[in-house]
Amino acid sequence: MRILIAAGGTGGHIFPGITIAQTIRRRNPEAEILFVGSRRGMEADIVPRFGFAFDAIPAHYLRRQLSLDVLRTGFTALRGLARAAAIVRRFRPDVAVGTGGYVSGPVVAAALLLRVPVVIQEQNAFPGLTNRVLGRFACRVALGNAAAQAYFRASHRVTVTGNPIRSHILTATRGHGLTAFGLEPSRPTLLVFGGSQGGRTINRAVQEAAPELTERLGLQMLHQTGRAGFDAIVNHLGDRIRWIGPDHAAAGRWHVLPFIHDMPAAYAAADLVISRAGAITLAEVTARGLPSVLVPYPFSAEGHQEANARVMAEAGAAVVVPDRELDGERLVKTVEELLRDPARLERMARASRGLARPDAAERIASLIEEAARRGGQA
């Protein structure tokens, strides 16, 4: 079985592809898997680290405003389509998988033109433009969120599978998480992150709120800042910093890291999460059954993070704070209200667990394998 996976642009498109590939490789060790992305994207570095073959096409993010850049992007897309078609002819996949994003479009289009069965994996409650368009022609569409069903017409080809998550998210223990980051077992842990690049609004609010959260409320915080945010906070703290590792600083019970490599351990240590509302983040948060305060990234494509957060809030699993309203005072108030109502936190945790679909990767792998065997026939 030969499987081509188009995944690139952001971690929210890349890591679902990697998790799906790992699941297929475990189920079928002889499967040949090729990732296609952009040479300039994160995927060019990340995918080979996980042991998968990688090839690249010209690709560029499509800006929605009319400008000369749109014309340049269109020309790049045509070059990308030609290159993708050459890759498809050479690799001869039994099935092509698209996880969305501007890199996915030319690859999936080339596969469709060359009559290769296509499976689309859409992570968000509001589907991205690429998947909305190409999903009309796919033999299977795997949705991470049931709210996205309204955007795909052929219901017999659409399955709500949930979003694929790393298996270690489910198996990491609290004891391991606390030990990994030097946290105290007796204190509640607040896990804060704004994505792999950090989040300036979140970082600024945490910096303002840290004394109240850690001293008056007695919390300990594990805070992923992004590299730029890390340097700014370390400079702000000055001689109050103690170094636990090369990229792990702490001031009292506020632990600051530019990037948390062991997210399964971080989730396992957490009692409450403050984060953006990316689809894979929320799949991991719900898999652990964690209550959350969500600050959707206001510039996400077509507002998909707002849609993701709304689903969580309507289920009772999260509190949503708009990015424009978040500051230190609002953060302290929100966290304090939750801490003073343990019953509400427990209800949020139950609602979070109720949204989880921990078997998503297996279900998506089954759809892909079936499409390959049946040649894309419904």
**C-beta separation of 127 from 307 below 8 A:** no
Q: What pLDDT score was predicted for residue 156? A: 78
- Does the fold of domain 168-355 match that of domain 2-165+358-374? yes
Q: What pLDDT score was predicted for residue 300? A: 83
Q: What pLDDT score was predicted for residue 11? A: 83
Query: Residue 356: which of 281, 291, 283 has the closest Cα?
Result: 283
**Which run of H or E residues covers position 294?**
strand 292-294
Q: How far apart are CA 28 and CA 362, in angstroms?
A: 12
Q: What pLDDT score was predicted for residue 164? A: 97
**Positions in the chain short of pLDDT 70:** 60-75, 195-198, 376-378
At residue 322, the 3 state secondary structure works out as: coil
Beta bridge partners of 97: 5, 119
Q: What pLDDT score was predicted for residue 228? A: 86
Instruction: Calculate the CA dihedral of residues 119, 123, 129, 130 and round it to 10 degrees.
Output: -30
Which residues, 6 or more positions from 130, have their beta carbon under 8 angstroms from its beta carbon? 98, 100, 101, 102, 104, 105, 108
Question: Distance of alpha carbon 364 from its chain centroid, rounded?
Answer: 16
Q: What pLDDT score was predicted for residue 130? A: 87
pLDDT in tens, 246-285: 999 999 999 999 999 899 999 999 999 999 999 999 999 9
Q: Which homologous superfamily is 168-355 in?
A: Glycogen Phosphorylase B; (3.40.50.2000)
Q: Give domain 2-165+358-374's CATH number out of 3.40.980.10, 3.40.630.10, 3.30.9.10, 3.40.50.2000.
A: 3.40.50.2000
In the chain, where are the structural domains located? Answer: 2-165+358-374, 168-355
Q: How far apart are CA 324 and CA 201, in angstroms?
A: 8
At residue 8, the 3 state secondary structure works out as: coil
Taking the model in full, what pTM does it have?
0.91
